[in-house]
């Protein structure tokens, strides 16, 4: 896992560490010192810690004028033991929403497992984004993780499935990715 870096091809356009409005403003990363791990597997030092001991992220792009963020995740999403969604919601999502972000693209191809707990934070996040004409889209999550989300009935708070599971997102510029995801979201919301 230590070789899995967050996507870096948009870094010339946006870095959360340099964004004064970002919850990760001023964060410094080592290129050589591995300080974070998912259980006994160290992860690349470019991933950001937000309070979970098993799930890490990287804010890849934020467009404040259009109100969206693209976030890549790695690790195990474990609400049962660690209440990861609480840390994500309180320490990352809420500060972003305070800056006008209402549309979230979560990229989950490196999310290895999902363990459900309470759904209160999901419901709260969903309601707050929906009240602001926003949404939460899951992109390229593994099939068994999507199945676990459905089994826990958490999928009701996200837009997922179909073309959102098979998008070659790395080939797009962030605006193009947002437009493609937004088009899928609008089709579903207007259906």
Looking at residue 43, its pLDDT comes to 86
Give 140-152 pLDDT, tens digit per residue: 999 999 999 999 9
Looking at residue 190, its pLDDT comes to 82
| Domain definitions of the chain by residue range | 19-37+48-190
Looking at residue 3, its pLDDT comes to 64
- What 3-state class would DSSP assign to 20? coil
Find all residues with CB under 8 Å of 158, minimum gap 6, and list them: 106, 136, 137, 138, 149
Cα(122)–Cα(118) distance, integer angstroms? 9
Give 102-120 pLDDT, tens digit per residue: 999 999 999 999 999 999 9
Find all residues with CB under 8 Å of 185, minimum gap 6, and list them: 135, 137, 159
The pLDDT confidence band at residue 2, using thresholds 50, 70 and 90, is: low
Pick the CATH number of 19-37+48-190 from 3.30.750.24, 3.40.50.300, 3.40.50.2000, 3.40.50.2300: 3.30.750.24
Q: Would the pLDDT of 35 be above 80? A: no
Pairing mode, strands 68-78 and 135-139: unpaired
Model pTM score: 0.95
Cα(40)–Cα(37) distance, integer angstroms? 6
Give 83-106 pLDDT, tens digit per residue: 999 999 999 999 999 999 999 999
Q: Would the pLDDT of 73 be above 70? A: yes
């Amino acid at each position: 896992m230590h070789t899995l870096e967050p996507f870096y091809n948009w870094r010339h356009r946006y870095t959360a560490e340099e964004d004064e409005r970002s919850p990760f403003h001023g964060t410094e990363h080592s290129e050589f010192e591995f300080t974070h791990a998912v259980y006994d597997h160290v992860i690349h030092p470019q991933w950001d810690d937000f309070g979970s001991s098993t799930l890490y992220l990287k804010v890849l792009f934020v467009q404040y004028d259009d109100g969206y963020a693209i976030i890549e995740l790695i690790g195990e999403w474990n609400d049962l033991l660690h209440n990861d969604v609480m840390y994500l919601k309180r320490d990352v999502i809420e500060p972003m929403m305070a800056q006008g972000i209402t549309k979230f693209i979560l990229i989950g191809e490196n999310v290895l497992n999902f363990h459900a707990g309470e759904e209160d934070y999901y419901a709260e996040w969903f309601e707050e984004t929906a009240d602001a004409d926003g949404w939460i889209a899951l992109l390229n999550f593994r099939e068994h993780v999507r199945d676990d989300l459905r089994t826990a009935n958490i999928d009701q708070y996200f837009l997922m499935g179909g073309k959102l599971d098979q998008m070659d997102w790395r080939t797009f510029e962030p605006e193009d990715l947002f437009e493609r995801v937004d088009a899928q979201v609008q089709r579903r919301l207007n259906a």
